[in-house]
Amino acid sequence: MPRIPRGDSANGIYHIINRGNMRMQVFNDAEDYEYFLELLRNSAQRDKIAIHAYCLMPNHFHLLLSPEAEGSLSRMMQWLMTSHVRYYHRKNKTSGHVWQGRYKSFMVEKDSYYIGVVRYIEANALRAGLVEKAEDWIYGSLYTRISSKAHLSEPLVELGDDWKDNVNMTMQIDELEKIRNSVNRQAPLGKDEWQIVVASQHGLLPTLGNRGRPKKEYDV
């Protein structure tokens, strides 16, 4: 099966995911989480990538990024993943695959779905039952957003003073399913007209076809 193309356009908004190989746990202690976050911050600063949201989970991660220049997102992610794999093997004295393969990225429409994806990412640990409140997960951007705000870019859409409360509220099923379908299909996330235009530009039209329920890979 041919690989699905990944967009890398200047000022595009990308929801990025990767999971540990064979769903194995990748982040095993505080050092693992903190090292990955430091790599993320350094690479984003170097390649001028805006960080809008993130959540590191024990066996996968979510990022919401926006590159300033075309091609810089791919360059950043290649450096990030390669650097992390080297760290992982050095620390654990292992070899082989750490991540399940290429990271996956999905373009997000700013006006209609940006806020929903930020909320989806920042509530990830809460939905997984790792914390009682989303802001208690210290390896997610909500914790950073309400404390130091270090390394987070200004939101592209106003989140509101009650943002923390919104993240802790249960997402509507239809909104959750739209995001999960985008992830599992590797399809752009937005209104129908926008999806078709973006998919045409980036060779992603096959991801919009066959609207039956996609194979589930990510469910949190």
Residue 9 domain-assigned (yes or no): no
Q: Is 211 a member of any domain?
A: no
pTM higher than 0.95 for the full model? no
Supply the pLDDT for residue 7: 65
In a domain, 216, yes or no: no
Whether residue 74 lies inside any domain: the answer is yes
Q: At 89, which helix (H) or strand (E)?
A: helix 72-92
- Collect all residues with Cβ–Cβ distance below 8 Å to 133 and sequence separation of at least 6: 126, 168
Q: Is residue 118 part of a domain?
A: yes
Residue 192 lies in a domain: yes
- In angstroms, the CA 122 to CA 11 distance is 22
Which among 17, 139, 39 has a CA at the least distance from the CA of 88? Answer: 39
The CA–CA distances, whole Å, from 131 to 31, 65, 73, 140, 149 equal 19, 24, 31, 11, 20
Establish if 215 belongs to a structural domain.
no
Q: What is the pLDDT along the chain (220 residues), one digit of tens a residue?
A: 455 555 667 789 999 999 999 999 999 999 999 999 999 999 999 999 999 999 999 999 999 999 999 889 999 999 999 999 999 999 999 999 999 988 999 999 998 799 999 999 999 999 999 999 999 999 999 999 998 877 899 999 999 999 999 999 999 999 999 999 888 888 899 888 888 888 888 778 878 875 444 445 545 5
Cα–Cα distance for residue pair 205/187, rounded to 1 Å: 8
What CATH number is associated with residue 130?
3.30.70.1290
| Residue 178 lies in domain | 14-200
- Does a structural domain hold residue 218? no
Predicted local distance difference test score (pLDDT) of residue 61: 98
The domain tally of the chain equals 1
